[in-house]
Structure 1
């Protein structure tokens, strides 16, 4: 639940633009291509272009294809597509 105005107890700071500074939501999809194509069709600027990232998981690497877009309130949305694992 998101609240913009709450009179008592929950306001931790001034609500000033961009509201979502520092928040990064990761959304995993079977394929990120349809979302990316739709954003490009509407000329939405990406915060970070699509890339492949491989993360160290001990003796394995875990991969994902990802891109980031920033919503009007400043929240970063990271769309990812899991690529599987491979040995180092």
Structure 2
């Protein structure tokens, strides 16, 4: 049986097929299941899960205001991957520019620093997606 996470964001999208091309072909997600008649897909990438739902003004969807691009202002979704280089390659091949170039970053977490190789890309509707390759931990040099 498919395991659903306790927290799964559902993103409203303008064109489900374009979004699936990005999320599946470029980022590497698989379609766990979908309801094409509802413009809905549930995606999974090694336990990172997201739902996509195509905007339909006649479907009574839970919209608190009119949608305008870029969608998702104020949020970015961090997704762990084994390696960022193949994802960047697929994005380049598909014509997606990076929002923020790939770089190694170390974030303090109490007494250690957590390293990640990361970049940010926007999906077709403008959601910010941050892909992360874990680099390990190291002691904090100074607080």
| TM-score normalised over the length of structure 2 | 0.55
Structure ranking higher in helix proportion: 2
In the alignment, which residue of structure 1 is the partner of 2:124? 72
* Structure 2 unmatched runs, 5+: 1-50
| TM-score normalised over the length of structure 1 | 0.85
Report the RMSD for the aligned CA atoms in angstroms. 1.7
Higher RCO (CA < 8 A, seq sep 6+): 1
Note if 1:46 corresponds to 2:98.
Answer: yes
34-43 or 46-55, larger mean C-alpha shift: 34-43
Count of paired positions: 87
Cα-to-partner distance string for 1:9-43 (whole Å, 9 max, x where unaligned): x2200122223322311110111110011112333
In the alignment, which residue of structure 1 is the partner of 2:55? 4
Contact 1:28 1:81 in 2 (8 A): yes
Structure 1: 4+ residue segments shifted above 6 A:
none
